[in-house]
Structure 1
Amino acid sequence: MTDATTELTAEQIVDYGMPVGLAMSPDGRLVAYAVRNTRKGEPPIRSLWVAAADGSSAPRRIKANPAPISSLRWAPDSQSLICMLGGKLHRIGLDGGEAGAAGEPLTAWGGAISDQWPLADGRTVAVAAEDEPTEEDERREAERDDARVWGEREPLSRLRLLDLDTGVLRLVDGLAHRHVVDAAQRPDGGPLAVLTWNSPDLDPGLYNAELHLVDPLTGAVQDLGAVGADAGSPAWWSVDGAWHVAYLAVAPPGLVEGRAVLDVTVPAAGVAPAAHSNLTAGMAVCPTSLVQIADGPPLALFADGLDTAVHRLDPVERRFQRLSGLDGLALSLTASRSGATVAVVATTAYAPRDIHAGPPAGPLLRLSDTRPELRRITWGKQERLSWKAADGLALDGLLILPPGRSRADGPFPLVALVHGGPYDRYADELMLNPVISGQWLATGGCAVFMPNPRGSEGRGADFAATVVGAVGEDEWTDIVSGIDLLVAEGVADPERLGIAGWSHGGFMAAWAVGQTDRFKAALMGAGISDWGVQTALGEWGLQDSALGGSSGWEGPGPHRHDRLSPVSYASRIRTPVLIVHGEEDTNVPFGQAVLFHRALRYYGVDHQLVAYPREGHIIHERNHQLDLLRRSREWFDRRLGAGTG
C-alpha cells in the first residue's frame, strides 16, 4: 500500500473515473479505451483515450462526449477508431476529429445499431442494425395504436454490411430472420462467424442461439448449428489446414453451469458440421474472455480462484495452456493482430481499475491512472481466506478489517457480503462498489467477509454447477462455515453478525434470515424472494427456473422452488431487514421486494423497504448511490454497534 492519510467518503466512491471499454490496435502500438467520469452536479462525461502499449508516452484524451461510447474497435490499418457515440456509428481519427465528414455519423440509417465489426478490406463494416421505421410504424407510434403481439414485429438486430464510401447498408438476406449478437471475420479476410438468437429477448433468445458463416461478398450463409446459452466472442483459428471457430458459452444442455470454450471444425460447403467440442472440460478455472489471433490459436482470460490468468490454446492438444498469472481481477482481454501484445482492465486489493498492457506471458505495465486521488485513502486491510465446507470442499474468499485495525483488535462486528450471480466471484480486487462496498462498510468499523461459495466463478464448471436446482442449500452452509471460522479465530463477534448482498446476494441475505436468527441485521438488495415469481416475470426466465429447481407449471405442487424461496420462511424471521430495490428493475422485478415486504409486515418483523425511482437492477443515479451507501452503513451501525458516524 502507498502512504495514506484520508478516510474514505461516500462521494469518493460515487464520483469516479473508470475505464469502460478497451481495444488494442491491430499493429500492437496503441490501446484505446473509454473512461466514464461522474462528478457532483454534472452529467456523466465519457472520454476517449489512446495510450502507447509500451508505456513510452502518457495516455492522451482524443475526444470527450456526454453521450455513451461503446463498441470500440480499430480500423484494420490502425489509423482510426470506429465506435458508437450516442447510438450513432462514428469513425474517429487519432487527433480526435472525424475521419470523414466532420462530426457526422458514418451512415444515415434510421434504425438502431447495436454493434459493429470493421472488416479486413477497410471499406466495409458489418453491423447489427434494426429495420428503419416505416410510415406505418411512425403512424402507430404517433397515434398510440401500438398493441403488441409478443413474438411478432420484434425489433431484430439484423446483419447488414455498411459500405463506408456510400453509407449504404446491405441486408444479409439469409440471416434476416435472426437477431445478431456477435461476429468475427476470419483473419485472412474470409467469411464472418456470426452468433444469433431467434429473438431479441433474453428468454427465449439466449437459449436459442446458433452459429453461422457469412460470405461478406455474396451474403451466402452456412449454418454451423446450435450453440450453448450465453454464447459470445467467436474466434477463428486453424490447425493442419482446417479452420475452426471457438466461442464462449454454457456447455449444452446446461443453462447456468458456468461458461466454457466450445469449438467446431468448419466443414466444406454442403457438409453437416461435426458436434461442437468443449475445450475447457475438466479445467478448475473459468474462461471470461476469448480473443482471436491472426496467425495462431486464440488467447483467453481465465478466472482462477481469487486471481486471473492468461492462457493460449494448444492447437494440437486442443487444451488451453497457462502463460501468465495476474494478481486480482483482470477483464476485457484484447490483443494485437499477431498476439504479441495484450491489454486488460485490471485491479488489485488497493489499486482501482486501470489499463495494463504487455506480452501475454507478462509482465503487464499499467498505462492509465484514472483515480490518483485514491492513493491518499487509508484502506481496510484485505486478507485472502481459505477454509473447508462442511463436506470438505475447499473454498476461498476475502476478509476486510476496519482501517488501521488488525486481527488482534478483534472481535469485530462482521457483515457477510454475498456476491451476485450466483455465477460471479470475489477476486482480490479493490472493493469499492457504489452499490454495496466492502471498503465502505469496513471504514464504518465492521469487518467484512466476502465468500465465494459453491456456484461461484473461478473454480471450474463442476463447482459452478452444484447450485443448479439447489440455491440456498450447500452454498448457504459454505457461507456459514466461513463465518464460524472467523468467530473461532476471534475476528467476528458472534453477537454482532450481519449479512448483505445484491441480486443473488440479496436472495442469500433474505434466505439467511429465514434459516437462522443469529444475524442481528440484514440487507436484501434487488433480491429474489420467490423463484416461481422470478421465473414468470424476470428477464432470464428459464435460467431462474433452473436455479430454483422448478417453474410452477409442472403441476399443482408443492414445487421445489417453494422450498428454496425465502418468502416461504417469513414466519420464522426475527432479524431486522433493510430491503432496497430499483423500481424499474426488469432483471429481478421490484415486485420481489414488495412480496417480501408484505410478508414481513404481516408477521410484524422490523424492516424497511426503500424504492429507487427510475432505477433498474443496478443503481446509477448519484443521489441514489449516496443514499444507499449511507443508509446501508447506518443500518448495520445501529444494529451491530459498529461505531459508524
Structure 2
Amino acid sequence: MLTEELVVDARLPVGPAISPDGRRVAYGEMPGRTIWVVAVDGGAPPRELGQGIDPKWSPDSRYVYFRTEGQLHREPVEGGGRRSWSGEAAAYLPLADHHTVAVLSPDPGESDPWVWSEAAGRHRLRLLDVRSGEVYTPEVFQGRHVAEVAERPGGGMLAVLTQESPDPGDLRPRLHLFDPATGETRELGACAVPAGSLTWWEAVDGWHVAYVATTPPGPVGGNAVLDVALTDGKHRNLTEGLPFCPLTLTSGGLVLVADGLDAAIHRLDPVTRRLAELLRLTGQAFWLTADADGATVAVARSEAYEPRSVFAGPVQGPLVRRTDTAPELRAIGWGAQERLSYRGHDGLDLDGLLVLPPGKSRDDGPFSLVTFAHGGPYGRWADQLLLQHHEPAQWLAGDGHAVFLPNPRGGQGHGHAFAANGTVGREEWQDVITGIDLLIERGIADPDRLGIGGYSHGGYLAAWAVGQTDRFKAALVGAGISDWGMLAATGEFGPFEAALGGSHGWEGRGPHPHDERSPISYASRIRTPVLIVHGAQDTNVPLGQAEFLHRALRWFGVEHEFVVYPREGHAIAERNHRIDLLRRTRSWFRRLR
C-alpha cells in the first residue's frame, strides 16, 4: 500500500560524479545527506563514505571530496584516514596539481546590518593547499561575486564566471580566464543570462569554453549552449534552431538535453561546432557526468514506473543501473502512465502525460480529473515516476483520479521558439484548457469533476485558472504567484519575473501589463475552493504572494485553506511537512468524488 511515509522516506540518489578514470561513481543520497561510491562495472556493491553533500573527485581518482556545514573533507576511495579543513565552501573544485582546491566562499565576519553597497555575501576565489591547510586569496575580480570555476583539462588555466553581486537576478555576468600559477587574468566578455554549467572542450582550432544560458537576448526563453573560442573571445549560440533544450554540459564536450518527454546525450562536434546525438534516454535524466576523456558517463534517471537511480556505462550505451536505493517502491501497483500528443488551438504540436488510477483503463472512464501544471515556466513533465508532493501524479491516481500533466508552450524540451512562444496566462493557458477539453471529448475526464493544481509557476497557473473559469471544483496553489509586479520587486529573480509579467510596478501610474497577467486582478471572479500552501522562508516566490491571494479570497468569501510551513523555502523539505502536505493534497481533491 502506498503511504505518505513510503513516499517521503524513499531514498533517492543526487549529484552523481564519475571518477576521472571512469571506474567509480560517487553520489549523494536524500533524505539523509549521505555520500556513497559505486563501481561503474558493478563489480562491488555501493560503499558508504559518510554524511555530506556535493561529492567531487581528485584528478588522480584516489580521493572523494565532499562538504558538510563549515568543513571540506577528503576521503581515500580505497579506505584510510579522512582529512578535513574548516571554513565555509559554497562551492569548490579539486585542481589537477593534486595539492590545490579552488574554493568559493564569502569573507568572514560580515557586518550586521546588511548593506547592499558593501558587497556582503560575495564569494571570492580562494586556493586551498591541502598539504599545509593554508588558504591563499588571489587579488582578482575585485568587488565581483565569483559564481563558478572550471579548470582546463590537464591543468593550468581556470575559466571563471563572475557576477556583479550574488543576486540570482544579476543580469551582468562576465567570463574570465585566470592562471593560478602566474596570477594573470584575461577578460572574455559579457555572458548571456543566467549563465552556468561552465565547461572546457577542444575543437579543431584549440580550446573553447562553453556554458548554458537563456538564448540571447533573454532572460525569457529556451536554454542555449554558448561557446567562446579563446582565439577571438566571441560568444556564439551553438543550439540556435534546434528542437530540444540543453540542460547541462560536462567534460568531453558532452551535453545533456531535454527532448520532448525524454532526454538525450549529445556531443559538441569539434569540426562543425554543432550538437550530435550519441544516446537517447527514456524518461527524465539529471546530472550528466563524464570521465576525463568523455568515454564513460553516469547520470541519474527515472522512468515512468521506476524511481531515480544512477546509471553508468559507455557514452554511446548501454547505461546500466548501478543503484537501487528505493526497492520498496517496486511492490507498488502504479497507475498506467500514457504519453499524449495533441495540437494547441493554433495548431502547435504539444505533448504531456496522462496517469490513470491503478488497475483502470480509459474504458473505465470518465474519471475525476486533476490537471497538474509544471513549474518554471521553463520546466516540463518528462515520462518519469511522478510521486512527490510537488509532482503528485501517482499519489493522486492512487486515490482514484486521472491526472493530466500538460506541457504547454513556454516550457522546455522543444527548443527556443517553443519556449519563447506565448505570454504567461494566455497562450500557455489555452494549451492547458485545450488538453482538458480533449480528455473530456474522449470520455476520459468527467466535466463536472475537474481539479487543478501546481507548484511555483504551476501554482500561478492554478491561481490563474480559477480566476478565468468556474469549471474547476478544487484547486491547489503551491508556492504560486498572485501578483507579477510584487514578485518582480521582491523575488530572487526580479528581472526574469518582470520579463514574464511584462512590466515593473515603478513604470508610471499604471495600469501595467503585469496587472493583466496577475491572478490577483481576477480574485473577485473566483468561486472554486482553493488550498494555498507556501514555505514561510521562500525567497524565490515570497510568502507575500500567498498572503495576497489569501486575503483576497477571505475578502470575497471564497472557501479556501491557507497553510504556511515554517522554516521552509521554495521547496518543502522537512519530513513532517511533506507528510502533512501529501495528506492535505489528497483530502482537498476528494471533493471531486
423, 427, 444: which one pairs with 2:378?
A: 423
Contact 2:501 2:514 in 1 (8 A): yes
How large is the RMSD of aligned CA atoms in angstroms?
1.3
The separation in 2 between residues aligned to 1:241 and 1:451, in whole angstroms, is 43
Query: Is residue 390–residue 454 contact of structure 2 (8 Å, CA) maintained in 1?
Result: no
Alpha-carbon contact 1:159-1:176 (below 8 Å) kept: no
Q: What is the match of residue 48 of structure 1?
A: 35
Alignment correspondent of 1:441 = 396
> What do the CA deviations read for 1:369-416 (whole angstroms, capped 9, x no partner)?
000001110111100001000000000000000011111100000000
Q: Kindly indicate whether residue 101 of structure 2 is the aligned counterpart of residue 125 of structure 1.
A: yes
Identify the residue that residue 513 of structure 2 maps to in structure 1: 560
User: Among residues 482, 500, 508, which one is paired with 1:547 in the alignment?
Assistant: 500
Residue identity in the other structure for 1:486: L
Contact 2:226 2:238 in 1 (8 A): yes
Matched AA of 1:152: E
Paired residues for 1:90-129 under 5 Å: 90-100=73-83, 105-106=84-85, 108-109=86-87, 112-129=88-105
Displacement, 1:552? 1.6
Distance 2:389 2:435 in 1: 25
Q: Tell me, yes or no, if the aligned pair for 1:453 and 1:479 is still in contact at 8 Å.
A: yes
Secondary structure (helix, strand or coil) at the match of 1:390 reads: coil
Residue 22 (1) aligns with residue 16 (2): yes
After superposing the two structures, state which structure 1 stretch, 167-176 or 301-310, moved more. 167-176
**Residue correspondence of structure 1 range 201-600 to structure 2 within 5 A:** 201-204=167-170, 207-267=171-231, 273-293=232-252, 298-467=253-422, 470-600=423-553
| Cα distance in 2 between the residues matched to 1:476 and 1:405 | 28
CA distance in 1, matches of 2:208, 2:256: 19
Partner of 1:3: none
SS in structure 2 at match of 1:533? helix
Distance in 1 separating the partners of 2:560 and 2:118:
43
CA distance in 1, matches of 2:458, 2:519: 12
Letter in 2 for 1:121: D
Calculate the TM-score normalised by the size of structure 2. 0.98
- Structure 1 runs (4+) greater than 3 angstroms displaced: 95-100
- The offset of 1:99, in angstroms, is 4.3
Distance in 2, matches of 1:371 and 1:596, equals 38
Cα distance, 1:445 vs. partner?
A: 0.5
Q: How far does residue 550 in structure 1 lie from its aligned partner after superposition?
A: 0.6
Amino acid at match of 2:502: G
CA distance in 2, matches of 1:254, 1:292: 26
**Alpha-carbon distance in 2 for matches of 1:264, 1:312:** 16
Is the contact between residue 314 and residue 321 of structure 1 (CA under 8 Å) also seen in structure 2?
yes
Q: Which runs of 5+ in 2 are unaligned?
A: none
Q: 1:572: how far off? A: 1.1
Q: Secondary structure of 2:33's match?
A: strand
| Distance across 1 between alignment mates of 2:80 and 2:121 | 32
Report % sequence identity: 56
Question: How far 1:217 sits from its partner (Å)?
Answer: 0.3
Deviates more, 1:84-93 or 1:483-492: 84-93
CA contact (8 A) 2:278 2:316 kept: yes
SS for the counterpart of 2:431 is helix
Does the aligned pair in 2 maintain the 1:186–1:192 contact within 8 Å?
yes
TM-superposed CA distance for 1:91, in Å, is 0.6
Query: 1-side partners of 2:443 and 2:437: how far apart?
Result: 10
* Shift, 1:95, TM fit: 4.3
Rounded to whole Å, the distance in 2 between the matches of 1:436 and 1:327 is 18
SS of match in other structure, 2:219? coil
CA distance in 2, matches of 1:21, 1:31: 10
Is the partner of 1:174 in helix, strand or coil?
coil
Paired residues, number: 593
Q: Which amino acid in structure 2 is aligned with residue 80 of structure 1?
A: Y
User: Using a 3 Å threshold, how does the CA distance of structure 1 residues 602 and 193 change in structure 2: closer, same or farther?
Assistant: same
How far apart in 2 are the matches of 1:79 and 1:627? 43
Cα displacement string for residues 404-433 of structure 1 (whole angstroms, at most 9, x for unaligned residues): 111110000000000110000110000011
CA separation in 2, counterparts of 1:132 and 1:522?
46
Distance 1:71 1:172 in 2: 24
Tell me the SS of whatever aligns to 2:169.
helix
Task: State the Cα distance separating 1:202 from its structure 2 match.
Answer: 1.4
- Per-residue CA deviation, residues 245-289 of structure 1 (Å, 9 max, x unaligned), is 11111133211212110011113xxxxx44310011111100111
Distance of 2:480 and 2:167 partners within structure 1 = 22
1:203 Cα deviation after fit:
2.8
SS of equivalent to 2:371:
strand
| C-alpha deviation, 1:85, in angstroms | 2.1
Check the 8 A contact 2:450/2:473 in 1, yes or no.
yes
Q: Distance in 2 between matches of 1:119 and 1:64?
A: 23
Deviation at 1:96, TM superposition (A): 4.9
Q: Which is further off, 434-443 or 480-489? A: 434-443
Instruction: Give 2:197's aligned amino acid.
Output: S
Compute the displacement of 1:241 (Å).
4.1
| 1:180 corresponding residue in structure 2 | 146
How far, CA to CA, are the matches of 2:5 and 2:235 in structure 1?
A: 49
Aligned residue in 2 for 1:143: none
Q: Is the 8 A contact 2:63 2:76 kept in 1?
A: yes
Tell me, yes or no, if the aligned pair for 1:80 and 1:99 is still in contact at 8 Å: no
> Is the contact between residue 35 and residue 53 of structure 2 (CA under 8 Å) also seen in structure 1?
no
Question: Could you list the per-position Cα deviations for residues 502-522 of structure 1 after superposition, in whole angstroms to 9, with x for gaps in the alignment?
Answer: 010000000001111111111
Out of 66, 71, 79, the position equivalent to 1:88 is: 71
Cα separation, 2, equivalents of 1:537 and 1:239? 43
**Helix, strand or coil: the match of 1:520?**
strand
Q: Are residues 495 and 238 of structure 1, via their aligned partners in 2, closer, same or farther at CA, if it must alter by over 3 Å?
A: same
- TM-fit CA distance, 1:441: 0.5
Question: Does structure 2 retain, via aligned residues, the 8 Å contact 1:183–1:233?
Answer: no
Give the C-alpha shift of residue 10 in structure 1.
1.1
Match of 1:169 among 129, 135, 143: 135
Instruction: Please say if residues 71 and 116 of structure 1, whose CA atoms lie closer than 8 Å, have aligned partners that are also in contact.
Output: no
Q: Which amino acid aligns with 1:305?
A: G
> Deviation at 1:51?
1.1
Structure 2 equivalent of residue 627 of structure 1: 580
Give the conservation status (yes or no) of the 8 Å contact 2:358–2:397: yes
3-state SS in 2 of match to 1:167: coil
Q: Which amino acid aligns with 1:117?
A: L
Instruction: Give the alignment's TM-score, normalised by structure 1.
Output: 0.90
The amino acid of 2:11's aligned partner reads G
Aligned to 2:30: 36
